[in-house]
Amino acid sequence: MPKLAKLRGLAFDHEVPREYQTAAAFKEFVRAQTAKDLPPDRAADTSAALFHIGLLNRPGDLTALQQQALTTQVGMYYDPENKKFFLVMVPPTDMLLDMLSVHELTHALQDQHWNLDKFLPQGTEELDADRFAARRFVAEGDATFTMYLFALGSLGKDVTPEMVKILRAQLDQFATMSPEDMVKQNLLGMSAGLDPELQTSLAGLGDIPSTILVPMFDSYLRGSQVIATAFDLGGWKAVDALYTDPPESTEQVLHPATKLYPQREHPKLVTIAPRGKQIANLVFGELQWQVYFQLWAPAQKAIASEGWAGDRAVVTRRDDGRLVARIATTWDTPKDADELRAAFVTSLAARFPKGSGDPATTGFDRGDGAGKIFLAERGSDVFIVDGGDARSELDDLVAATQIR
For residues 311 and 188, which has the higher predicted lDDT (pLDDT)?
A: 311
Q: Does residue 359 carry a pLDDT above 80?
A: yes
Q: Does residue 192 carry a pLDDT above 60?
A: no
Report the distance separating Cα 141 and Cα 154, nearest Å: 20
Mean pLDDT, the chain, integer: 90
Rg, C-alpha atoms of the chain: 22
* Cβ 270 vs Cβ 328: under 8 Å: yes
CA-angle at 232, arms to 218 and 185, nearest 5°: 35
Report DSSP state, residue 176: T
pTM above 0.95, yes or no: no
* Cβ 387 vs Cβ 370: under 8 Å: yes
Q: Does residue 381 carry a pLDDT above 70?
A: yes
E strand or H helix at 319, and its extent? none
The shares of helix, strand and coil residues in the chain, as percent rounded to the nearest 5, are 55, 15, 30
Query: pLDDT of 73-116, one tens digit each?
Result: 668 999 999 999 999 988 888 888 999 999 999 999 999 999 99
Per-residue CA distances from 55 to 13, 213, 279, 330 (Å): 42, 12, 15, 19
Query: pLDDT of 32-54, one tens digit each?
Result: 988 888 888 889 999 999 999 99
What pLDDT is stored for residue 190 in this prediction? Answer: 47
**Which sequence spans correspond to the domains of the chain?**
2-260, 270-403
